[in-house]
Amino acid sequence: MTNDEIRMTKKIPNPNDERLAASGTVVISSFELRHLFVIRKFVIRHSAVLFLSPFFALADTPRPTLPPEQRTNGWQTLSAVTQLKPLTLDCTARVESVLGRPICTATIVGADGYLLTKASEVPDLDKARVRFADGRTAALREVRREVRLDLVLAQAVGVTGLRAVSFGAAKPLTLGQWMCSTADAGKEPRIGIVSAQRRRIPGDGAALGIRMDEKTPKEVKGVRIIGIASESPAEVAGLQENDVLLTIAGEVVAQYRRVHEIVNKRQPGEIIEVRYLRKDKEESCRVRLASRTKVLQNWEGEDFANGGISLRSDSFPEVLQHDIPLLPADMGGPVATLEGKVVGINIARVDRVTTFALPVEAFWIEAQQWIKADRHPPKAVLVK
Amino acid sequence: MQTRTSFRLLLISILLAGQVRGAEQRPNAEKAPQTDLATLLRIQTDVQKLLPQVRPALVAIQTGGGTASGVIISADGLLLTAAHVPGGPGKDMRVILEDGSVTTAKSLGLDTTTDAALAQLKKREKPWPFVKLSREVIKAQPGEWCFALGHPGGFDKSRGPVLRVGKIIKQTANSLHTDCVLMGGDSGGPLFNFAGEVIGIHSQIWENRDQNVHVSMTPFLRSWEAMQKSQVIKIWGVGAGGYLGVATVMSDDVELEVADVIEGSPAQKAGVRAGDVILSVNGDAMTDQQQFTATVRAKAAGDTLKIKLRSSGKERELAVKLAQKPQEEGQ
């Protein structure tokens, strides 16, 4: 048991310093906030709070509860940002599968169909389409994929007359400043604040979410899986404990180190083919890789993440952190100030309290050049 | 996976019950004005004005078990945190200030029932940066805006402390519920009102984003002296009211049934047993758990309750003298 994923698992049930030391990355080794486990659903301990749920704690004296519509992201509060709709929601589109399953959100950056979205969510734009607020759908043509930024510039084929966002500077934003974004595939507004310092997020490659047997017996040709992380790429793909990995992305693997090397240099969101032996039968599956940090930090599953975490949640040159309640499928959408200036694109849902957005300064100058080059491709020069 | 799934289902079912309750009691639902941009901008201005004053009082706490948060509330270095952070009195903790400098603190007393704890930072010449705590707990009412600071996931110098702005959803006897979303590592961190005073200490979360529970100032103010003397308080109770010591459950026949009797409690001494069906208290028929809780809590320690019970088809009446809530001394 040696690869980093292995070391990690041992530590997961009991987060401690060892876990920090071993992983060498930003690893949450935090107290779990006490989760209330209600043991018997309808038991009330009179004069005892031991197993009381927050809701039953008030059994004796009914206490007023703020109705959902008046909460921070309830509709009554959100009515404050209704006037921003033309500048935010109307400049957003939904990227969906050909069957209509929402994949992620796109920010419209050109009236002639140019849009930006989160690259790792859409490895294959041929298998996706875009749906606009007015119900129109269109095929997508990939213009530029920038792995470093996890952005993809695409053009909705044959679409014109779109409303593009208006970008403003993200630099002057300060901690506590309100931001507004779009949820539910660009249908609804959400608000939150700039919640931490702007910074670079280092990356640590991709992972499958498996523990491998360091000492796979010689007679076994391959690497035996001895543990699978909950909700990890491996689990989603159907890999199981005791499966023996034979090839990864076409390459024969005889040693756990090799598996680690092959996977780690790939990008989160990438799909790789895995051939394996289960009960003496050779089988194969396609695994969609995730950020290594995401896998390690959520080994036991994404509890309390409220809707999941983006496959790629790290390795960004610079991010704005905010607390707008969003889902992975909301990534790729715009984040704006209350003046309606778009200051970034949501790029990763990280955990229960964190969403990262790429600030406009990190991508817009480049993206404009990509659009320009695509609109006016260089003419062929005849060499004499 | 299996257990996790069922656990989630359980949470969801309870959650729904909670929402139904919420829906029944809409305070000023009709009157509540829709929020406008000016209101949001005022909140923003106020938070940003208060931040430089309150931020230096936030600390990250590291113990053998992990990392958490805390807040300094006096110039001589008294620290509020959650009881599950030190876990006991007299525990040494590593404390990181906002600028990254490191010191130590020792836990004093704690109230394990409400998750309130007090700790003392190492003495130093210079006064510690501190914030005040709110003594007017009643003011933290549903709908009030508030903001939370903490170190979710642990201290991260490049990220700094994490701010959340939200609203109070509910106040209970010992806690506040808000939509300031918390996670592991926030434990012990402060919730502030717009006077820059601490109104809560981050304590627990439920799965839903709106289910973030903070210890209110009530248990701190109530047990201040005991906690300063490093006592551990295990109060069987919330708020005022005598102590009976039974847990109830609604039976399949929709009767109020005793599920458990706490060892050494007045109920046990009087002969209440698990499985008994509670028929009436002081002549009032008991039909549900809330009514029973309210009836018991309405009486003080020393009062006697006449409880009519039924078990194996036989009815009997017992007199139970309510007691003080048990407290335990610390080390």
Angle at A91 between CA A180 and CA A181, to 5 degrees: 15
Q: Does residue A370 lie in a domain region?
A: yes
Partners of residue B236 in chain A, C-beta under 8 Å: 47-48
| Pair A148, A178 in one domain | yes
Round to whole Å and give the CA distance between A293 and A14: 17
Q: What type of residue is A155? A: Q
CA distance A284 to chain B (A): 23
Q: Does residue A146 lie in a domain region?
A: yes
Pairing, β A290-291 against β A206-207: antiparallel
| Pair A90, A123 in one domain | yes
Is the CB of residue A240 less than 8 Å away from at least one CB of chain B? no
- Tens digits of per-residue pLDDT, A247-286? 999 999 988 899 999 998 898 988 999 999 999 899 999 9
Round to whole Å and give the CA distance between A255 and A257: 5
Report the pLDDT value the prediction gives residue B325, as an integer from 0 to 100: 66
Indicate yes or no: CB of A54 within 8 angstroms of CB of B175.
Answer: yes
Indicate yes or no: CB of B51 within 8 angstroms of CB of A338.
Answer: no
A260: CATH: 2.30.42.10
> Which residue matches tokens 């919330």?
B238
| Pair A129, A167 in one domain | yes
| Pair A231, A160 in one domain | no
| Pair A190, A212 in one domain | no
CA distance B76 to chain A (A): 27
- Tens digits of per-residue pLDDT, B132-173? 999 999 899 999 999 999 999 899 999 999 999 999 999 988
Report the pLDDT value the prediction gives residue A36, as an integer from 0 to 100: 35
Asked if B149 and B55 count as a contact pair (C-beta separation under 8 A), the reply is yes
Q: Does residue A8 lie in a domain region?
A: yes
Pick the residue from chain B with its C-alpha nearest to A43.
B249
Round to whole Å and give the CA distance between B1 and B6: 9
Highest-scoring range by mean pLDDT, A259-273, A353-367, B63-77: A353-367
> Which residue matches tokens 């997020």?
A201
Q: Does residue A64 lie in a domain region?
A: no
Chosen domain end from A253, A270, A288: A288
Q: Does residue A265 lie in a domain region?
A: yes
- Residue A19's pLDDT band, with cuts at 50, 70 and 90, is very low
Query: By residue range, what is the domain housing residue A43?
Result: 3-54
The overall average pLDDT reported for chain B is 84
Is the CB of residue B42 less than 8 Å away from at least one CB of chain A? no
The overall average pLDDT reported for chain A is 83
Q: Which of A41, A62, A191 sits opposite B13 (nearest CB)?
A: A41
Is the CB of residue B325 less than 8 Å away from at least one CB of chain A? yes
Provide φ and ψ at A81, rounded to 5°.
-105, 10
**Token code pair at residue A343:** 């200051």
A368: CATH: 2.40.10.120
Round to whole Å and give the CA distance between A106 and A115: 6
Q: How far is CA A308 from CA A104, A142, A176, B311, in A?
A: 13, 27, 25, 49
- Residue B264's pLDDT band, with cuts at 50, 70 and 90, is confident
* Residues facing B116 on adjacent strands: B82, B111
Among B residues 236-295, those touching chain A with beta carbons less than 8 Å apart: 236-238, 241-250, 259-260, 262, 289-290, 292-294
Chosen domain end from A288, A305, A328: A288
Q: Does residue A364 lie in a domain region?
A: yes
| Pair A86, A183 in one domain | yes
| Pair A79, A152 in one domain | yes
Region label for A39, one of left (φ > 0), alpha (ψ between -120 and 50) or beta (otherwise): alpha
Q: In this structure, how many other beta carbons lie within 10 angstroms of the beta carbon of residue A61?
A: 14
Q: What type of residue is B327? A: Q
Q: Residues 6 or more apart from B313 whose CB is under 8 A from it?
A: none
Partners of residue B167 in chain A, C-beta under 8 Å: 66, 70-72, 77
- Residue A384's pLDDT band, with cuts at 50, 70 and 90, is low
Report the pLDDT value the prediction gives residue B33, as an integer from 0 to 100: 66
Report the pLDDT value the prediction gives residue A308, as an integer from 0 to 100: 87
Indicate yes or no: CB of A66 within 8 angstroms of CB of B167.
Answer: yes
Asked if A165 and A337 count as a contact pair (C-beta separation under 8 A), the reply is no
Is the CB of residue B27 less than 8 Å away from at least one CB of chain A? yes
| Pair A197, A320 in one domain | yes
**Token code pair at residue A108:** 């419209």
Count: domains in chain A: 3
* Residues facing A227 on adjacent strands: A211
Residue A57 has pLDDT above 60, yes or no: no
Highest-scoring range by mean pLDDT, B4-13, B48-57, B307-316: B48-57
Partners of residue A338 in chain B, C-beta under 8 Å: 37, 40-41
Report the pLDDT value the prediction gives residue B245, as an integer from 0 to 100: 85
> Which residue matches tokens 């109104």?
B199
Environment class of residue B263 by beta-carbon count within 10 Å: exposed (0-12), middle (13-18) or buried (19+)? Answer: exposed
Q: Does residue A294 lie in a domain region?
A: no
Round to whole Å and give the CA distance between A292 and A201: 13
| Pair A183, A216 in one domain | no
Round to whole Å and give the CA distance between A37 and A380: 68
User: Which of A27, A31, A53, A198 to mutate: most B Cβ within 10 Å?
Assistant: A31
- Of A33-47, A284-298, B21-35, B165-179, give the lowest mean pLDDT range: A33-47
Q: In this structure, how many other beta carbons lie within 10 angstroms of the beta carbon of residue A215?
A: 9
Report the pLDDT value the prediction gives residue B32, as an integer from 0 to 100: 56
Q: What percent of chain B has pLDDT over 90?
A: 55
Indicate yes or no: CB of B22 within 8 angstroms of CB of A68.
Answer: yes
Is the CB of residue B307 less than 8 Å away from at least one CB of chain A? no
Round to whole Å and give the CA distance between A96 and A88: 19
| Pair A79, A170 in one domain | yes
- Residue B306's pLDDT band, with cuts at 50, 70 and 90, is very high
Mean pLDDT of the A71-87 span:
93
Indicate yes or no: CB of B183 within 8 angstroms of CB of A303.
Answer: no
Q: Does residue A77 lie in a domain region?
A: yes
Report the pLDDT value the prediction gives residue A55, as an integer from 0 to 100: 36
Round to whole Å and give the CA distance between A154 and A124: 11
| Pair A343, A358 in one domain | yes
Round to whole Å and give the CA distance between A280 and A25: 38
**Global ipTM:** 0.81
Residue A111 has pLDDT above 80, yes or no: yes
Report the pLDDT value the prediction gives residue B233, as an integer from 0 to 100: 72
Mean pLDDT of the A140-164 span:
96
**What is the number of CB-based contacts under 8 A between chain A and chain B?**
293
Asked if B322 and B301 count as a contact pair (C-beta separation under 8 A), the reply is yes
Residue A47 has pLDDT above 90, yes or no: no
Indicate yes or no: CB of B48 within 8 angstroms of CB of A177.
Answer: yes
Residue B288 has pLDDT above 60, yes or no: yes
Instruction: Indicate the SS3 state at residue A295.
Output: helix
Q: How far is CA A219 from CA A115, A216, A223, B114, B121, in A?
A: 53, 8, 11, 58, 60
Instruction: Indicate the SS3 state at residue A226.
Output: strand
Chosen domain end from A273, A288, A303: A288
Mean pLDDT of the A193-219 span:
90
Using the CB atoms, write b or e for A12-37: b if 16+ within 10 Å: eeebeeebbebbebbbbbbbbbbebe
| Pair A320, A191 in one domain | yes
Indicate yes or no: CB of B167 within 8 angstroms of CB of A197.
Answer: no
- Residue A20's pLDDT band, with cuts at 50, 70 and 90, is very low
